[in-house]
Amino acid sequence: ASGGYPKRVKVVEVGPRDGLQNEKNVVPTPVKINLINMLSETGLQVIEATSFVSPKWVPQMADHTEVMQGINKLPGISYPVLTPNLKGFQAAVAAGAKEVSIFGAASELFTKKNINCSIEESLERFDEVMKAAREASIPVRGYVSCVLGCPYEGKISAAKVAEVSKKLYSMGCYEISLGDTIGVGTPGSMKEMLTVVMKEVPVGALAVHCHDTYGQALANILVALQMGVSVVDASVAGLGGCPYAQGASGNVATEDLVYMLNGLGIHTGVDLQKLMDTGTFICSALNRRTNSKVSQASCRL
């Protein structure tokens, strides 16, 4: 129903990790650090800083330790990092990480192609990360990929999404971010999926991570908000193309999201102008145009 909206929304900025990871040009460490520092000045409360994954797999994130140690960590801001396994977790904590994220998927084929095991096996691998995190009092965020469609399997059942989400939640993840990995979702499939997931995971522990590959992101986010979701992932300047559709866009732009939330009178604490300035900086460094329409429109060049 189009009744109420949450009064506040937590925006989780994934540009420095998810965004940059999907950009062709490798970004020098000082640029990454400056990006995160600028984001820290915008009012964003959560900034995903990097990924403690093997540089063999993800060269863009090879400088994870330097980035983690180099950024200004402002009080009140969380700087989660991805940790695909125990080794990565340990390296992350040694580098100063205070929050980590793990990734599951609602598609068997996607999991197989991505990390060469089944969903069940992938979650078992995270058992040791969860245990170590619990011992160190480190909060863990869980991601579920392919919640509205899979590049290999096509349609994904909402029940499967709920099953994987529930598993991650019971393992101890404080929040589950539901990712429309290839952006095929629409308000129809978003509503259907959330209805089922919300039977297994409390809405207060849910986040949406929408991709704008088919232009549906803000409409999908709107529906999620209408259903009570109050945590939304986004990427400054819409950094990060879609690896499954060459030339197509990926992450939704944080500027465009904040613009919409402002218009709805929803509090985010984010300064849109500072955010746009940050987007301008990183696009200049990447020598690319912004994917944010708000930024494009506001540019009077």
Partner 1 sequence: QEPQASGLPEYIKIVEVGPRDGLQNEKVVVPTGTKIELINRLSKTGLPAIEVTSFVSSKWVPQMADHKEVMRGIERHPGVQYPVLTPNLQGFHSAIAAGATEVSVFGAASESFSKMNINCSIEESLEKFGEVTKSARNINIPVRGYVSCALGCPYEGNVVPDKVAEVSKRLYSMGCYEISLGDTIGVGTPGSMKKMLEAVMKEIPLSALAVHCHDTYGQALANILTAIQMGVAVVDSSVAGLGGCPYAKGATGNVATEDVVYMLNGLGINTGVNLYAVMEAGNFICTALNKKTNSKVAQASFSTGTIN
Catalytic residue ranges: 242
Beta strands 175-180; 10-13: pairing state: unpaired
Minimum CB–partner distance for residue 5 and partner 1 (Å): 9
Pick out residues in 244-263 that bind partner 1 (CB under 8 A): 244-249, 253, 256, 259-260, 262-263
- Complex with partner 1: residue 19 or 84, whichever CB lies closer: 19
Q: Does 213 bind partner 1 (CB under 8 A)?
A: yes
Residue recorded with tokens 């058992």: 127
Q: Does 243 bind partner 1 (CB under 8 A)?
A: no
CA distances from 10 to 75, 266, 271 (A): 16, 10, 13
Residue recorded with tokens 């919640």: 147
Q: Which of 30, 55, 59, 188 forms a contact with partner 1 (CB under 8 A)?
A: 188
Q: Which of 1, 4, 76, 116 forms a contact with partner 1 (CB under 8 A)?
A: 1
Minimum CB–partner distance for residue 204 and partner 1 (Å): 22
- Complex with partner 1: residue 88 or 279, whichever CB lies closer: 279
Q: Does 76 bind partner 1 (CB under 8 A)?
A: no
Q: Which of 4, 75, 76, 265 forms a contact with partner 1 (CB under 8 A)?
A: 265
**Angle between helix 217-226 and 254-263 (nearest 10):** 40
Q: Does 184 bind partner 1 (CB under 8 A)?
A: yes
Q: Give the separation between CA 50 and CA 18, rounded to whole angstroms.
A: 8
Q: Does 22 bind partner 1 (CB under 8 A)?
A: no
- DSSP per residue over 75-117, as a string? TT-B--EE-SSHHHHHHHHHTT-S-EEEEEES-HHHHHHHHSS
User: Contact, 34 vs 281, CB < 8 A?
Assistant: yes
Q: Does 152 bind partner 1 (CB under 8 A)?
A: no
User: Contact, 53 vs 91, CB < 8 A?
Assistant: no
125-129 long-range Cβ contacts below 8 angstroms, 24+ apart: 125/85, 126/102, 126/171, 127/171, 128/85, 128/86, 129/83, 129/85, 129/86, 129/89, 129/100, 129/102
**Which among 29-37, 100-108, 171-179, 243-251 is the span making contact with partner 1, rule CB under 8 A?**
243-251
Cα-Cα-Cα-Cα dihedral sign, residues 128, 231, 189, 81: negative
Q: Does 8 bind partner 1 (CB under 8 A)?
A: no
Q: Give the separation between CA 143 and CA 175, rounded to whole angstroms.
A: 8
Q: Does 145 bind partner 1 (CB under 8 A)?
A: no
Q: Which of 89, 110, 143, 214 forms a contact with partner 1 (CB under 8 A)?
A: 214
Q: Does 114 bind partner 1 (CB under 8 A)?
A: no
Question: Which residues are near partner 1 by CB under 8 A?
Answer: 1-2, 149, 154, 182-189, 191, 212-216, 218-219, 221-223, 242, 244-249, 253, 256, 259-260, 262-265, 292-294, 296-301
